[in-house]
Structure 1
């Protein structure tokens, strides 16, 4: 009996710890968008990755390193705004950053309302009616961007309690999360300005490249030339917009890697993109070599 009670106690403590690591994001609702299905996490056979769909209430999961160095990164996974590639472009990234002393927040921003399998929906529509994807994404993307801005505000206002430097809060986004990253960058105020940004194969066709903001943060763009969605050219345009404005910018354009490589191992140089991010962060004094 004591053994059973001990196991129950440990289980409850683990559940409590997990709950404490999930942070609700303040947000305004939109009466024109409704979700008929609950948020769902499952393994997608199509994407061969764990995904999350039907996010209607934005949250962040906090990943804290043993010895935080003060730098933090909010991570926005991709998935066409129909889903979030929550493992390869989320939790696996956060754990790698934790090993370097960087505090990470995996953001679940609001998504397009879908049925049982959002990944299947976007796959079918992509093959039969790509225009429909844009129509469904258009009203939701502003909400996703608002969630990103709200996430930065939360981290900055709670920086002291989280042992973070309020001037070293970055935003990293993949694909649709890259569009969220740039939406955040084009719309920030003093309270929610990211201190550095890392758009990774950003979805520039859904959010076209704009002029760099006057106080644009340092940016590192990462993509592959063989991206099947044609996002390499948009990544180059984004990089060039920072150069034109004489803002700090870096670019890693891999010849091979495809789209959505995230933390997947493909036996290619693009597998090491996250180490290249860390090298760049050292050069930009976002993290210190002594940490």
Structure 2
């Protein structure tokens, strides 16, 4: 009996040691979108990965490195605004960044209200009624973007707590999270401006490319030419908009990689995209003053 109690105590201590801090972000409710029940976390057989669906309250999970270098990245996983690919485009990314000294925050932004399986809903609708997807995401995307802006403001207000440089807060988003990233960069103010952005195969059909802001932050766009959703062209257009405005921009377009590669290892050049991001960040972020330019 004593041995069992001892083992239980050890497990409790270990769980506490490895538990991540969860932060509920400030947000304004919207009566036009109604959720039923709580957010759901499960393994999706359809996508073959861990997902979260039906998010109605935005939160961030904090991943702290042993030796923070001052840089931080807010990560917005993708999933068509019906789900979040929470491991492949979220926690796995955060843990990799931690190894490089980068503090990471995995954002669970508000999603389309779904029932038991949001992944099945978007999969079925993409085949039978694609227009319905557009109708369902339209009122939700502005809320997701607001959550992204709220995340940046929260991190910047608490930089001392996490040993973060307030002028080196980045925002990285995948697919639908890439649409959130672009929504953030088209709508920020002085308190919630990201210091750099990394749209990864951004969903530019949901968030069309616009003119780069006058004080646009450095941007690195990542995509694959063979993206089956046709997002390569939008990624090039996005890069070109920064180039036209003479802003700091980079583009890594892989010949193969498909869509949703995230942290998957497929035996393709796209497997190393995050290392290329880190190389870029060392040159463009680590040793530079990223304070907004006075316009």
- Residue in 2 aligned with 1:264? 264
Is the 2:20–2:63 Cα contact (8 Å) retained in structure 1?
A: no
Cα displacement (A) at 1:11:
4.0
Distance of 2:97 and 2:158 partners within structure 1: 20
Gaps of 5+ in 1: none
RMSD: 1.4
- Residue in 2 aligned with 1:6? 6
Distance of 1:112 and 1:227 partners within structure 2: 24
- Residue in 2 aligned with 1:131? 131
Distance 1:287 1:39, change over 3 A: farther
Is the 1:37–1:114 Cα contact (8 Å) retained in structure 2?
A: no
Is the 1:69–1:287 Cα contact (8 Å) retained in structure 2?
A: no
- Residue in 1 aligned with 2:56? 56
Cα displacement (A) at 1:31:
1.4
After the TM superposition, which of the residue ranges 116-125 and 19-28 deviates more from structure 2? 19-28
Distance 1:25 1:13, change over 3 A: farther
- Residue in 2 aligned with 1:107? 107
Does 2:254 match 1:254?
yes
Cα displacement (A) at 1:286:
2.8
Moved over 6 A (4+): none
Over residues 120-159 of structure 1, what are the superposed CA-to-partner deviations in whole Å (9 max), with x where a residue is unaligned?
1000100111110010000000100000000001100000
Is the 2:156–2:169 Cα contact (8 Å) retained in structure 1?
A: yes
- Residue in 1 aligned with 2:293? none
Equivalent position SS for 2:160? coil
- Residue in 2 aligned with 1:162? 162
Distance of 1:269 and 1:16 partners within structure 2: 38
Distance of 2:154 and 2:95 partners within structure 1: 21
Q: TM-score, structure 2 length as denominator?
A: 0.94
Does 2:186 match 1:186?
yes
Distance of 2:192 and 2:56 partners within structure 1: 22
Equivalent position SS for 1:160? helix
After the TM superposition, which of the residue ranges 35-44 and 246-255 deviates more from structure 2? 35-44
Cα displacement (A) at 1:12:
3.9
Distance of 2:246 and 2:17 partners within structure 1: 45
Distance of 2:104 and 2:66 partners within structure 1: 12
- Residue in 2 aligned with 1:81? 81
Cα displacement (A) at 1:7:
3.4
Over residues 171-202 of structure 1, what are the superposed CA-to-partner deviations in whole Å (9 max), with x where a residue is unaligned?
00000000000000000011100000000000
Q: Report how many aligned residue pairs link the two structures.
A: 288
Distance of 1:34 and 1:14 partners within structure 2: 38
Equivalent position SS for 1:125? helix
Over residues 196-238 of structure 1, what are the superposed CA-to-partner deviations in whole Å (9 max), with x where a residue is unaligned?
0000000000110000001100000000011110100100000
- Residue in 1 aligned with 2:71? 71
Over residues 29-50 of structure 1, what are the superposed CA-to-partner deviations in whole Å (9 max), with x where a residue is unaligned?
1112111132111111111110
Distance 1:142 1:8, change over 3 A: same
